[in-house]
Amino acid sequence: MGSMEPGKRSRWLGWWYLSIGAGFLLLGVNRLLAHDRSWLVMLRWLIAAGFFLLGSLELRRTKPR
C-alpha cells in the first residue's frame, strides 16, 4: 500500500494525532473565550485528550526497547 517503513509511519501518525489534538485544544480555548456553552468546550477538550493519548501511544510504540 505505501512505501513508508512501519516505524516511520507510526511516528508520522503519532505527530499527526498530536496535531489534531492541539487543534481541538485551541478550538476549545477559542470557544471558551467566545463564551460558548461550557459542555461544548469540555467536549472539545475531551476529544483533544483522546487524540493526545492516541498520539502518545503511537509515538511510544516506535521507541526502541
Question: Is residue 53 predicted with pLDDT exceeding 70?
Answer: yes
C-alpha–C-alpha distance, residues 60 and 65, integer Å: 10
The model carries a pTM of: 0.83
pLDDT digits (tens, 9 = 90+) for 2-42: 566 767 888 999 999 999 999 999 999 999 999 999 999 99
The pLDDT, as a whole number, for residue 7 is 72
C-alpha–C-alpha distance, residues 53 and 3, integer Å: 26
**Average pLDDT value for residue range 40-56:** 97
